[in-house]
Structure 1
């Protein structure tokens, strides 16, 4: 396996010390940090760019966190945190410095965090993490086969002390004090599906079996309109035909009545305003590729109230919302000990929740993470 860790970052990986990221020594009780027992490598196309990308995920020392670099950046690794998150349509993107920008990190981030990996060094040849089959299942399988290695450093979690909520026109995300990580997520804006809702505690086995297999979903009409905007369609189709096909694409978006569960409810008394700095990083202003790599086998294609080819779960779209939410929450840099309640969370809104929460240290504190079961080998 090529592309190993080198330079200053490589020395950090080889010579990591055993203090936690707060500067404290190892806790008398609680869980130790963990890294991979062996590296692994993935090659595949990106969802939005459609370009092939190579990813190498390697073990890292205690307190390294999850860090990324591109091959163009030589030895510099960038911590994957909310501070370097940049706006991106339908994905989570990181600014790695020196012109390096990496899209669609959320599935890998969710898998590492939910499988109990605290420290990993990720080297990427390309600008987007591969979409694989649209789910986090392949990532969990690779992590399981690589194995986990405990490290002599205490693992700390962010424990919420009071309810905290942010909202926008799409929905809301709220955190509530809890002794573990659990979620309650709904969506009521999926044409043809009504209201979908999933709740439960997040541990490695639950994530692997109930959340990770859910796929990115693309409305067939949205995918069709993206194809009509492509350079190939512009060259081959007359403008009037493209316009008629564009209008017809909206006719397939049937909407059924909202039956079954009710959406999660906001709590206005817990809402906090979103700062101008955070708002400036929620809106995409620069053009970027979109869904160029989307096709059956990489996304779950939704048409009306059906998933073409069959769903992996009856409520697969909302489970994938949970997956994306967990990947974006991982940008806090530590595990969250909280109950996360959300309706229609987007990448931008979850980023706003993390950024605004971190800016209010009176609402949280770092505590030793309690011992919990780790993901078993696949």
Structure 2
């Protein structure tokens, strides 16, 4: 079962290690972030400490790893770090680095998972913005015989098949049916390459941080002694050997299908770049970073097409951020003037809430009783009460404050609100609250239809003032 609310970490935590391809020693620090921040990287070693968003549109290189770039700053080999965040359902975190590449550690995600778990997770006052795949999405790369699909599912499951036409590696499969399996079943699975790839990678200035301790080298052919000497020189080792069939230097696999499990780890990390948690069954045959990123872009495009800009998302089957009891404990309003039923989203700058409009509302008795229409002034009042929740959320003791209307501007009523409608209302601060004065925009929707919008100004005053 997936987490419903967004999560960050409770405190900052750090690791240090070498980059697999750059060979540069790098410190990486995970920093808590506010709701809807998402996952972002920061190059603190560069002037201005530029931010690079973990977004598939920022990917600039997929040669033996995933590299993103924004505003002239780039970070490489991000997939293992992203996989750890997704595997632990961490939605919001700032990842600071003082080098160009995430450290490879042992070649898996497990050390990132361990340090993030040591930091502890913190549930946030906002619902996760899932992308629920409604229709099958397919990607195919004929030249490499790669196929990836996302199928509708009210959960997140991943299945991967690899086949490199290697007599040693063979065809392998790996899968998880619950994201909580990632930590124990997938996170510790290390990156790998074939012996014949080593020299090519080295000549292309890759694997400068490679080591037999952070990568599995699969030997799929007979190797001469002089070639092993060259490999040892490349890796800075006095000697290497094939002591166990198929694995260089007798590296013991953690799982018989560890390569397939690592490919599953990679796709979990790369699909994080789509930008939202997924509800889907992911099926991938022979995936690689290029295909993973291409599919992430396909997912992001589907997200954009399904979204209506500015409309708050409401799923009545999910628990609210604040139910009617918490709303009543925060606002001083009571019947017949408590006009909202629940809050479904709340952070320091934005709030969304719900007003269910029923035929037995008291105001329908006198407002067009033969043709019941919700009065526009009460739509504004419901919006103001939701905005009041946002303003009161900025003080530690909201029960000791009043909120008062100071003004309304540019209100437009675009469609009648009728019995049976569900009003979903969103308010956003236009600027930080100063001297107790808050100015915000408000929009109310019924389904996908905008029914009213405008700007409100309110003050927040202590009750004992």
Please state if 1:45 is matched with 2:21: no
Q: Which residue of 1 aligns with 2:147?
A: 172
Give the length in aligned residue pairs.
282
Residue 78 of structure 1 and its aligned partner are, at CA, apart by 2.7
Decide which of 205, 208, 217 is 1:301's aligned counterpart: 217
- Taking the aligned partners of 2:209 and 2:126, their CA distance within structure 1 comes to 41
Please state if 1:102 is matched with 2:75: yes
Q: Specify which structure has the higher proportion of strand.
A: 2
CA contact (8 A) 1:88 1:103 kept: no
Residue 112 of structure 1 and its aligned partner are, at CA, apart by 0.6
- Taking the aligned partners of 2:219 and 2:75, their CA distance within structure 1 comes to 30
Q: What runs of 5+ residues in structure 2 fail to find an aligned partner?
A: 221-244, 308-312, 320-465
Please state if 1:328 is matched with 2:270: yes
SS at match of 1:174: strand
CA shift in 2, pair 1:225/1:289, >3 Å: closer
Decide which of 203, 211, 222 is 2:179's aligned counterpart: 203
Q: Which residue of 2 aligns with 1:186?
A: 161
Q: Which residue of 2 aligns with 1:7?
A: none
Deviations 1:86-126 (A, max 9, x none): 123110011032x2111000000010111011100111111
Residue 210 of structure 1 and its aligned partner are, at CA, apart by 0.5
Residue 361 of structure 1 and its aligned partner are, at CA, apart by 4.4
Of the two structures, which has the highest relative contact order with CA contacts closer than 8 Å and spacing of 6 or more? 1
Q: Which residue of 1 aligns with 2:285?
A: 343
Q: For residues 254-265 of structure 1, what are the structure 2 equivalents within 5 Å?
A: none
CA contact (8 A) 1:162 1:363 kept: no
CA shift in 2, pair 1:200/1:363, >3 Å: farther
CA shift in 2, pair 1:180/1:364, >3 Å: farther
Q: For residues 270-309 of structure 1, what are the structure 2 equivalents within 5 Å?
A: 289-304=205-220, 306-307=246-247, 308-309=250-251
Residue 306 of structure 1 and its aligned partner are, at CA, apart by 2.3
Normalization by structure 2: what TM-score? 0.58
Please state if 1:313 is matched with 2:255: yes
CA shift in 2, pair 1:66/1:193, >3 Å: same
- Taking the aligned partners of 2:51 and 2:270, their CA distance within structure 1 comes to 19
Q: Which residue of 1 aligns with 2:51?
A: 77
- Taking the aligned partners of 1:146 and 1:190, their CA distance within structure 2 comes to 42
- Taking the aligned partners of 2:218 and 2:61, their CA distance within structure 1 comes to 25
CA shift in 2, pair 1:190/1:313, >3 Å: farther
Residue 73 of structure 1 and its aligned partner are, at CA, apart by 4.4
Residue 224 of structure 1 and its aligned partner are, at CA, apart by 4.0
Residue 222 of structure 1 and its aligned partner are, at CA, apart by 1.5
CA contact (8 A) 1:160 1:364 kept: no
Larger Rg: 2
Normalization by structure 1: what TM-score? 0.70
SS at match of 2:254: coil
C-alpha RMSD of matched pairs (Å): 2.2
Deviations 1:223-262 (A, max 9, x none): 24445x3xxxxxxxxxxxxxxxxxxxxxxxxxxxxxxxxx
- Taking the aligned partners of 2:305 and 2:149, their CA distance within structure 1 comes to 13
Residue 190 of structure 1 and its aligned partner are, at CA, apart by 5.6
Residue 137 of structure 1 and its aligned partner are, at CA, apart by 0.7
Q: What runs of 5+ residues in structure 1 fail to find an aligned partner?
A: 1-29, 230-287, 372-378
CA shift in 2, pair 1:84/1:364, >3 Å: same
- Taking the aligned partners of 1:328 and 1:190, their CA distance within structure 2 comes to 24
Decide which of 113, 117, 121 is 2:94's aligned counterpart: 121
